[in-house]
Amino acid sequence: MAKYLVIVESPAKVKTIKKFLGSNYQVAASNGHVRDLPKSSLGIDVEHDYEPKYITIRGKGDILANLRKEVRKAEKIYLATDPDREGEAISWHLLYALKLEEKQQGKKVYRITFNEITKNAVKESLKNAREINMNLVDAQQARRMLDRMVGYRISPLLWKKVKRGLSAGRVQSVALRIICDREEEIDAFIPEEYWSLDVNLDVKGEKSFVCAKYYGTVDEKRGISSKEEADAVMDSLKGAKYTVKEVKKSGRHKKPPLPFTTSTLQQEASRALNFSTQKTMRLAQQLYEGVDIKGEGTVGLITYLRTDSTRVSKEAEDMAAEFIAAKYGKKYLNNTAGERKNSQKIQDAHEAIRPTDLGRIPLEIKEQLPRDLFRLYQLIWKRFVASRMSAAEYEATSVKIQAADQIFMVSASTLKFDGFLNVYNPVDEEKEENTLTVGLGKESVLTFRSFDPKQHFTQPPAHYTEASLVRALEELGIGRPSTYAPTITTILARRYVVKEEKNLYVTELGEVVNHMMKEAFPSIVDVHFTASMEALLDSVEEGSVKWKTVVSNFYPDLDEAVQSAEKELAEVSIADEVSDEECDLCGRKMVIKYGPHGRFLACPGFPDCRNTKPYFEKIGVACPKCGKDIVLKKTKKGRKYYGCIDNPECDFMSWQKPSGQNCPRCGSPLLIKGNKLVCNDAQCGYHILSELSNKSV
């Protein structure tokens, strides 16, 4: 019989940890939280010191019953939930749900945490067992109760004033406001004209030319704001002599990136892999909990995925140094990597996200991982290795060319030592300018070939993407690593925001809700107020502020604002979008509605007519088989494809977007694939370059 019981959150960890610990240990899972506030009510006694009313979560009865059986058999119980506030709170709830807080049980209960699921980490955690940290628990309780108060008091108001199914949230409402504010900036933006002026110059004695950019006059740097100014500069240089007045060479270093935190992983996975924040977190959780590797069994490939810290343990530093020196050479090793300071203090007990073993090289285990899991693991692996490598070294060259009293510049750089770029190059890094292919010395005379003036207009701020929204939330101090993905998922699910390509756009519904929140609850959607609440929660974690003080100071103002809004806010009606589809039962034009699984068509005659049908977005192309509309569809696993709206009567489908054109050789439909039009008939093989885009609808 096992003497010791280890309780983890996820069943996926059970087998792996049991393998590490041996026969004296039984490992069981709680499947996340076992107690929570009730769904049917606020669950907080605002009249009696804001005491929370926790209940067992529906469906967790059997899990708790099995855990109680295991508890009775064990001498010691180790609560090994995740190493963050949420995990600490789950351990505390387990303590009470299993009645382990009662001293008469005679059981010894310990809290253990590990940052990675490896044999050494798990065994080391047992040597450093401790009591539950109530400051962490209280910080989580305060966050949970603040979120509950906002959601349960304001959401019913939105149902009453706008429509059912809406929700408000302490973080999600601020995220919506940030997106709405950006949309207002874009709408209010007035473009300003400016011009660039390049000059193409032949190099004497060389079969090449250089392209120099206009800099200004010999006295000052200046821009060109109109065609008239550009023409005036060009007219002033007719017959002018172009001479190199200055050549500067300098060395420059590009520092390696820091290892991933939760937010930077979400941002880079969005940019490099086109993953949503939700998908990134789901895949990272799998990599952390364990993946089957041939010859090793189930192993955790990365460290804990929810962290604000870029700190790395001494053991990991040593592992990286040994690996880099052996694989790339000692000159690639950055001996000062461990000295770079962490920019965040929150959750610094956790390391940055990194591989648990650099010896598991991504390409060597590629065949054992699903495609997306491999891509995310490779990104994390490369980023961590690069973070411990030397800086890239460049030789930068700047050439100043004078013609009359006007100055043109040529700038270029040459990579002298690739350093960390040997492994990793972030996708958002600015690309280095081309290397000068000719040698230019001071007083070199160049021959004029042509001017290249171009008109430009200043651009409005970019629409938020998931990656840039996560960055904004982090920079503003709103939310924490675990909240970014669910926040974005919620505002998309509520249809406050839609995602087209990577950009986030506010819907009419989102604008209405945001306006209502700003009018009735200005502090709730105030960026600085929300950031200050996060700081207060951090103070609770540090033990300097009592959690009930935070809650009791917050609720009365919220309650007053809700009561005022119920009286003063006007109801808003948002009409459903009418489609061109007729109801099969009554002939009315069906409307587009939103459900938990996306858009669908419904008869506006409800409740007299309850007809509904799936909604498919038309792409403006006729089916090559039957002539009806081609629509965008999804498989059960979410992969997009194009098919006939008259399916199953017409079976046309394609993974590539049909172009609406037919092959001139065989008559089959031409599909858009990258920058080509490709014949749907593989045996035909016809293809042609095209300007058509392969963007999904």
Over its C-alpha atoms, the chain yields an Rg (Å, rounded) of: 31
Residue 539: predicted pLDDT: 95
Residues 609 and 659 in one domain: no
Mean pLDDT in residue range 491-503: 90
Residues 430 and 529 in one domain: no
Mean pLDDT in residue range 539-556: 95
Q: Which residue is listed with tokens 């460049």?
A: 394
Look at phi and psi of residue 681 and say left if phi exceeds 0, alpha if psi is from -120 to 50, else beta. beta
Residue 613 contacts residue 600 (beta carbons within 8 Å): yes
Weakest-pLDDT range from 50-64, 259-273, 439-453: 439-453
Does residue 296 register a pLDDT over 70?
yes
Residues 123 and 8 in one domain: yes
The DSSP code for 103 is G
Q: Is the dihedral of CA 85, 91, 92, 97 positive or negative?
A: positive
Residue 4 contacts residue 24 (beta carbons within 8 Å): yes
Residue 349: predicted pLDDT: 56
Please name which of 544, 464, 559, 534 lies closest in space to residue 506, comparing C-alpha atoms: 464
Catalytic positions, written as ranges: 304
Weakest-pLDDT range from 14-23, 85-94, 458-467, 585-594: 585-594
Residue 598: predicted pLDDT: 64
Mean pLDDT in residue range 672-690: 76
- In a domain, residue 335? The reply is yes
Q: Is the dihedral of CA 257, 261, 263, 268 positive or negative?
A: positive
Residue 104: predicted pLDDT: 45
Residue 432: predicted pLDDT: 54
Residue 345: predicted pLDDT: 45
Mean pLDDT in residue range 441-463: 92
Residue 562 contacts residue 158 (beta carbons within 8 Å): no
The domain spanning residue 68 has which CATH number? 3.40.50.140
Residue 40: predicted pLDDT: 92
Which of 387, 414, 432 finishes a domain?
Answer: 387
Give me the torsion for CA of 99, 101, 105, 111, rounded to 10°. Answer: 100
- In a domain, residue 429? The reply is yes
Residue 348: predicted pLDDT: 47
Mean pLDDT in residue range 441-462: 91
Residues 12 and 126 in one domain: yes
CA dist., res. 164 & res. 468, Å (int): 30
User: For residue 679, what are the β-bridge partners?
Assistant: 670
Residue 88 contacts residue 132 (beta carbons within 8 Å): yes
Residues 639 and 590 in one domain: no
The dihedrals phi and psi of 414, each to the nearest 5 degrees, come to: -120, 130
Residue 80: predicted pLDDT: 97
- Provide the token pair at 561: 């604002």
Weakest-pLDDT range from 326-330, 515-519, 624-628: 624-628
Give the H/E segment covering residue 252: strand 242-254
Residues 79 and 25 in one domain: yes
Mean pLDDT, the chain, as a whole number?
A: 89
Strand 25-29 vs strand 4-8: parallel, antiparallel, or unpaired? Answer: parallel
Q: What is the 3-state secondary structure (H, E, C) of 352-391?
A: CECECCCCCCHHHCHHHCCHHHHHHHHHHHHHHHHHCECC
pTM of the shown model: 0.82
The DSSP code for 491 is H
- Provide the token pair at 489: 């998922």
Residue 494 contacts residue 506 (beta carbons within 8 Å): no
Residues 380 and 398 in one domain: no
Residues 383 and 266 in one domain: yes
Does residue 624 register a pLDDT over 90?
no
Residue 637 binned pLDDT confidence (cut-offs 50, 70, 90): low
CA dist., res. 357 & res. 337, Å (int): 18
Judge residue 32's burial from the number of C-beta atoms within 10 Å of its C-beta, 0-12 exposed, 13-18 middle, 19 or more buried: middle
Give me the torsion for CA of 215, 219, 220, 224, rounded to 10°. Answer: -60
CA dist., res. 496 & res. 168, Å (int): 11
Residues 633 and 529 in one domain: no
Residue 678 binned pLDDT confidence (cut-offs 50, 70, 90): confident
Residue 596: predicted pLDDT: 55
Residue 122 contacts residue 17 (beta carbons within 8 Å): yes
Mean pLDDT in residue range 521-530: 94
Does residue 439 register a pLDDT over 80?
no
Please name which of 198, 192, 195 lies closest in space to residue 214, comparing C-alpha atoms: 198
CA dist., res. 91 & res. 93, Å (int): 5
Q: Which residue is listed with tokens 């460290």?
A: 303
- In a domain, residue 80? The reply is yes
Residue 201: predicted pLDDT: 92
Question: Is 133 in a helix, a strand, or coil?
Answer: coil
Residue 695: predicted pLDDT: 39
For residue 587, the enclosing domain spans 575-615
CA dist., res. 176 & res. 509, Å (int): 11
- In a domain, residue 496? The reply is no
- In a domain, residue 482? The reply is no
Residues 443 and 524 in one domain: no
The domain spanning residue 450 has which CATH number? 2.70.20.10
Mean pLDDT in residue range 661-682: 80
- In a domain, residue 96? The reply is yes
CA dist., res. 633 & res. 618, Å (int): 10
pLDDT tens digits, one per residue of 139-151: 999 999 999 999 9
Residue 339: predicted pLDDT: 52
The domain spanning residue 525 has which CATH number? 1.10.460.10
- In a domain, residue 59? The reply is yes
Please give the share of the chain, as a percent, with pLDDT higher than 90. 68
Mean pLDDT in residue range 219-239: 95
Q: Which amino acid type is present at position 199?
A: V
Residues 40 and 9 in one domain: yes
Q: How many domains does the chain have?
A: 6
- In a domain, residue 492? The reply is no
Residue 436: predicted pLDDT: 64
pLDDT tens digits, one per residue of 331-342: 999 877 655 554
- Provide the token pair at 404: 């009359």
The string of DSSP letters for 559-603 reads HHHHHHHHHHPPP---PPEEEEEEPTTT-PEEEEEEETTEEEEE-
Mean pLDDT in residue range 337-364: 74
User: For residue 243, what are the β-bridge partners?
Assistant: 402, 445
Residues 17 and 54 in one domain: yes
Weakest-pLDDT range from 346-355, 414-423, 463-472, 479-488: 346-355
Does residue 382 register a pLDDT over 70?
yes
